[in-house]
Structure 1
Amino acid sequence: MARGPKQIRDARTLAVRCLVESSRGRRLVPEAMHRFDHALSSRDLAFAHEMVYGTYRYLPGLEKVLARFCPKPKFPPEIRWLLLSSLYQIGFMRTKDYAVFDEANKLAVHLGYPRLKGLVNAVLRNAQRAGDALWRDKDGADWLLPTWLKDLLAGQHGADAVADWTRTWRDRAELAYWRNDAPVSEEERRSDVVPHGFRRQSALPPEWLSEGRIYIQNESSQAVSELACRLKPKTVLDLCAAPGGKSCYVASFSGCDTLVASDMAPERVALIEENRNRLGLDFETLCADATQLAWDKPLCDLVMLDAPCSGIGILGRHPEIKHHKSQPVDESLKKTQAALLKRGWELVAPGGYLLYTVCSLDMSEVPPPPEGAVVDVQALAHMPSGVPLTHFERLFRISPSNVFDGFCGMLLSKPK
C-alpha cells in the first residue's frame, strides 16, 4: 500500500493523491484509492470520490481550460491534478470559490510545492474572472471524450448515438447488484429489467458483502448472465471468468449440472474462489491460459467468454479508463481475442452455444465467427426485455445508460 508518512485526513489531499496514483499507474480509481491510508468520514470520502470521478469525467474540457490560462504548463503531476480538480470544483460543484482558492493554496504547500502557490492561485482566479462563458459548452462531447475516442465511436455508431451516450456519461452510474435471497432494506429498489437485480444510489453496507448476501455487478453483465441461464445449459465453461460474477450468477440461477470457471492467473482464480465461497456456491475452478486450454471433459452446452478488451464500454462507472488510453486497441489484443474465440468454439458441443462479450463499444473487438458457427438471433431473443439491445449483422450491442455498461458481443450456436 502506497502510504504517506501520515494518515490522510483531508478529502482534497486524498483526491489529488488518488488522481496522481491512478494516472501514473493506469489504475482504476477504487484500486488507486485503496493504496492510501485515510481517516475520512463517509461524507468527506464521498466528497473525495466526487472530485476524482468528476475530474476524470470532464478531463478533456478541464485540460482545455487549464491550457487557456497556462499555455505551456511545466509543473509536477501533483500540481497539475490539484489545478484540474480545483477547476472541476469551480465549474461543476457547489463549493464556494473562495473555499476552492484557500484550500488549493494550502494544498500546494502541503504537497511540497510552496513556490507554485502563486501559480495555482493565479490560474484559479483567472478562471473565476472568465465567468459562466468558460463553462458554456461543458455538456458537449468534447468536454467528456478525448478526440480519438469520440471519432472512433461516431465512426462505428453514428454521431446521434454518441450524443445520447454522452448525456448518460455526465453523471456517475447507479450501483447495481444482484442477490439470491430476499431484500432486507426499504432502500433496495428492484431492477425493472433483470430478474434478480437491484439498484442503489448510495454505497452498500459492508456487512451485506461479508455475509454473502449480494454480488455487485452491472446490469449489462447481469443481462448477459441471465441470457446464459435461459439457454438452459447443463454443462457450462466460463473462460476469462475472474472475478467470477457471471459464473456465480449462472451457478445461482441456471440449474446447470456442471460449471467450470477458468482464468489464467492464480491470483485471479483465487478471486473467483473468494466470491464463490462468500456466496456459498459450489463449482470448479481452473487456472489455465484459455487459448491453450487442455480439456479432458465432455464438450460443453455453453461456453461463456468475456474476453480481455479496451473497457471503453464502462465509462459511466469508470471515466478514468478513457484517459488511460490514447488510441484504439492494437492488433495484438485483437489476435488474443480471436485466439480465445477459436479455442472456446472448439469446446462447444454440437447443439451448444458460445456467448462472446466485451465491455467495449469498439465493434472491432468482436472477431469474425468461426467457420460453421451460426449467429443465433433467435436465441438472442432470450435476453431480458428492456435491455437497450441492438443487433447488427453478426454481433449485438448493449448501449450504455445510467444502469447499463456498453457491451458488444455475439451469440453463436453449433449445428448438431
Structure 2
Amino acid sequence: MVEAGRPISDPRMLAVRCLVTAARQRLLVPEAMARFAYQLDARDLAFAHEIVYGTFRFLPGLEQVLRQFCPKPKFPPEVHWLLLASLYELGFMRSADYATIDQANRNIRKLGFPRLKGLVNAVLRNAQRAGDDLWRERDQASWLLPRWLEKLLVKQHGPERVATWIKRWSERGLLSYWHQGGELPGDDAVLSGDDVVSPVLPHCRRREGAVPEAWLEQGVYIQNESSQLIAHVAVGLSPAKAIDLCSAPGGKACYLAAFSPETELTACDLDEYRLGLIRQNQRRLNLNFPLIVGDATQMNCTGEFDLVMLDAPCSGIGILGRHPEIKRHKEKPADAAMFDVQAALMKAAWQYVKPGGHVLYSVCSLDQNEIPALPEDAHIANDRLKELIPAGAPVVWQENGLLIEPDVAFDGFQAVLLQKP
C-alpha cells in the first residue's frame, strides 16, 4: 500500500523514509520503496537508491561512527536514519559536504523534529571536521558485518575466504537478467551500451544500472546469476515432469518453462499472495504452467516427478551483496525452527521424486547448517552436477554439493543434487 500524502520530491527524504520503513517492517528495499509516492527524475531516484543501499551496506561501521559523536544515541528512528544516511553521504559519496549538512538540517524539520536540529548539525559538523581518518577502515569486516555473522562465516569458511567476500560486499554488484528471445523488442541490437553478455550463463546479461521499465513488459526477467545457475542445472537435467516447491516469485520455474518448454512443470507455494507474483510473471513472459497453493510437505504426489526443485526458506545471508538490508533484519544465525522446516521440506521432496529422478535443493545462504540431513538412500550426484555447471562459475565443491561464492554478479548460494536409486 502506498502511503497517503504529497509525492516526495527530495531524494534524501525518500531515502530516509525508505530506510525507516525497511528497518521497522523488515522489508527488502524495493518493497519499502514501493510504499511511497515520489516525483523524481531518473538521476535523483538513482541518488536515493545509492543512499539507501550504501547506508545498509556499511551500517555496522556507520553505527560506530555515530556512537563516536553521540555515545548514547537515543532518539526517534527518523532522526537515527537521517544521521546514518547523512554520514554515508559524507564518507562515501561525491556530494558536497555543505549540501549534505544543509539538507539534513532542513529535513529534520520536515520530519517533525525541529528541536533536534542542533544535535543533527553538531554530529555532522564533527564528522566533517574529523576528515579522512574517520573512514580509513571502511573495507574491514567491522564496517560491513555484524559480529555474529562474521564469526559464523569465519568459523565455517575460514578467514581468507571471508576476507575475499567482504571485499566483494563493499562494492556495488551488477544486475543480471535474461530474455526469452534474442533481441529486445524496440532495440537495434541485442545489448544496450550498458549491458554485457554473462561469460558464464547462456541466456544472461549484466548491467550496472536498473533495467528499463519498458523491458519488463517485453519478456525480460531480472534474476541473479546464482539463481539462474540453479535453474540452468534444472534445464540440463531435461526432466519430463517437474515440480518447483516454495516457488514464489517463480524465477527458477519461469526459467525452466522458458528454456525447457517440453518439461511438464508445476509450481507450488504456501502463500497465495506470493503465488500471485508467479501469475504476474507468467502473464508478462507468456508462460503457462499450473500453480498450486498449499503446504509443500502435505501434497499427495508420491513418486510422480523426474525432478523436484526446492529453493528452501532460509536465512538469506547469501544475498547481502545485493540486499545489505538483510544484515539489519537478522540478529542471529538460523535456528532450530528454520532447520526443522528445511528438513521437513527435504523429506517431502524425496517422497515426491521418482526412482531414478533428482531432487535439486538450494538455499541463498552461506550457513552450512542450512543443508539438512540427506535421505539415507540418496546418491549425492556431484559428478552429474559438475557436468551441468558452466565453466567460469564461482563454485567451490563440498562433500554435499556446491557453494556458489559471492562475487560481482553472483549471490552466495549452496546447492545439492540428489538422485533416488
- Bucket of the pairwise TM-score, normalised by the shorter protein: over 0.9
Aligned partners of 2:28 and 2:325 also within 8 Å: yes
- The aligned amino acid for 2:346 is L
Number of the residue aligned with 2:135: 135
- The aligned amino acid for 2:58 is Y
Q: Aligned partners of 2:146 and 2:73: how far apart in 1?
A: 19
Structure 2 residue 351 is the aligned partner of structure 1 residue 351: no
Structure 2 residue 239 is the aligned partner of structure 1 residue 233: yes
Number of the residue aligned with 2:197: 190
Aligned partners of 1:108 and 1:114 also within 8 Å: yes
Structure 2 residue 338 is the aligned partner of structure 1 residue 333: yes
Q: Secondary structure at the match of 1:350?
A: strand
C-alpha displacement at 1:257, in angstroms? Answer: 3.4
C-alpha displacement at 1:2, in angstroms? Answer: 4.6
- The aligned amino acid for 1:359 is C
Number of the residue aligned with 1:273: 279
Alpha carbon RMSD of aligned pairs, Å? 1.2
Number of the residue aligned with 1:224: 230
Residues 264-273 or 139-148, more deviating: 264-273
Q: Aligned partners of 2:94 and 2:273: how far apart in 1?
A: 42
1:1-400 matched pairs, under 5 angstroms: 1-184=1-184, 185=189, 186-187=191-192, 188-211=195-218, 213-295=219-301, 299-381=304-386, 382-400=388-406
Q: Aligned partners of 1:124 and 1:303: how far apart in 2?
A: 54
Aligned partners of 1:236 and 1:256 also within 8 Å: no
Q: Secondary structure at the match of 1:3?
A: coil
Q: Aligned partners of 1:375 and 1:156: how far apart in 2?
A: 21
Q: Aligned partners of 2:381 and 2:291: how far apart in 1?
A: 28
Gaps of 5+ in 2: none
Q: Secondary structure at the match of 1:292?
A: coil
Aligned partners of 2:266 and 2:291 also within 8 Å: yes
Deviations for 1:311-362, whole angstroms, at most 9, x for unmatched residues?
1000111000011111001111110000000000011111110000000111
Q: Secondary structure at the match of 2:317?
A: coil
C-alpha displacement at 1:198, in angstroms? Answer: 0.6
Q: Secondary structure at the match of 2:149?
A: helix
Gaps of 5+ in 1: none
Aligned partners of 1:234 and 1:255 also within 8 Å: no
Q: Aligned partners of 1:223 and 1:18: how far apart in 2?
A: 31
Aligned partners of 1:235 and 1:256 also within 8 Å: no
Q: Aligned partners of 1:4 and 1:129: how far apart in 2?
A: 39
Q: Aligned partners of 1:99 and 1:197: how far apart in 2?
A: 40
Q: Aligned partners of 1:326 and 1:168: how far apart in 2?
A: 22
Q: Aligned partners of 2:287 and 2:108: how far apart in 1?
A: 50
C-alpha displacement at 1:371, in angstroms? Answer: 1.4
- The aligned amino acid for 1:333 is M
Q: Aligned partners of 1:158 and 1:328: how far apart in 2?
A: 17
Q: Aligned partners of 1:197 and 1:352: how far apart in 2?
A: 27
Q: Aligned partners of 2:145 and 2:199: how far apart in 1?
A: 30
Q: Secondary structure at the match of 1:183?
A: coil
Structure 2 residue 407 is the aligned partner of structure 1 residue 401: yes
Q: How many residues align?
A: 413
Residues 374-383 or 49-58, more deviating: 374-383
TM-score by length of 1: 0.97
Q: Aligned partners of 1:90 and 1:268: how far apart in 2?
A: 39
- The aligned amino acid for 1:371 is E
C-alpha displacement at 1:299, in angstroms? Answer: 1.5
Aligned-residue identity in percent? 55
